[in-house]
Amino acid sequence: MAIAFVVLCIFLFAGDAILHYLNIEQSSIRIAGGIILLIIALQMIFRSISEMFPHEYGNAPLIVPIAMPSVAGPSAITTVIILKTDATVSSLTILMALGIVFAVTLAVLYTGRLLMEHLGPRVLQALEKFMGMLLSLIAVDMIMAGIKSILRTLP
């Protein structure tokens, strides 16, 4: 979680410079982030139960896939950059929100096995599919916002 937090903080404070250096526009970030989020949402909706509960937890690496892209993935990075460019949201507010989100995520990760035992695989699978549907709505909204942004710049 610390690695993911540092990655998102780097994009919070240097994201504009990185995008400028790579010559990437905000609309491209919104569309690409929306597409990636949509793919993740579709995987959540159509994933099988055997993929949801792998038997080997101890061999999972820390940075990939847990820190990146699961926690600090393209859609999280996109969200941080988009929020940073919003004139009504300060960097301190975004940093505090990241801290709260990471604390909650860390608590969920620590209690994950306990939640799995109490809720059971069917409830967890239903929750994952429901969250996938919500993520798909957010993804489509991100894509539409990027398209609208492009259309506003056309003569």
* Residue 3, phi then psi, degrees to nearest 5: -65, -45
Average pLDDT value for residue range 121-126:
87
DSSP-derived secondary structure letter, 155: -
Q: What pLDDT is stored for residue 66 in this prediction?
A: 63
* Residue 60, phi then psi, degrees to nearest 5: -70, 130
Stretch among 81-85, 134-138, 146-150 having the lowest mean pLDDT: 81-85
Other Cβ atoms less than 10 A from the Cβ of 10: the count is 14
- The proportion of the chain whose per-residue pLDDT surpasses 90, expressed as a percent, equals 25
Residues with Cβ within 8 Å of 72's Cβ and at least 6 positions away in sequence, in order, are 3, 4, 5, 7, 8
pTM higher than 0.85: no
Q: What pLDDT is stored for residue 57 in this prediction?
A: 47
Per-residue pLDDT of 48-65, as tens digits, reads 655 655 554 455 555 555
Angle at 124 between CA 2 and CA 71, to 5 degrees: 20
139 neighbors 34 (Cβ within 8 angstroms)? yes
Question: Is it the case that residue 77 has pLDDT exceeding 80?
Answer: yes
Question: Is it the case that residue 137 has pLDDT exceeding 90?
Answer: yes
Average pLDDT value for residue range 90-100:
92
Q: Look at residues 67, 69, 93 and name the one whose alpha carbon lies nearest to residue 12.
A: 93
- The proportion of the chain whose per-residue pLDDT surpasses 70, expressed as a percent, equals 85
Q: Measured on CA atoms in the order 14, 16, 19, 20, is the torsion positive or negative?
A: negative
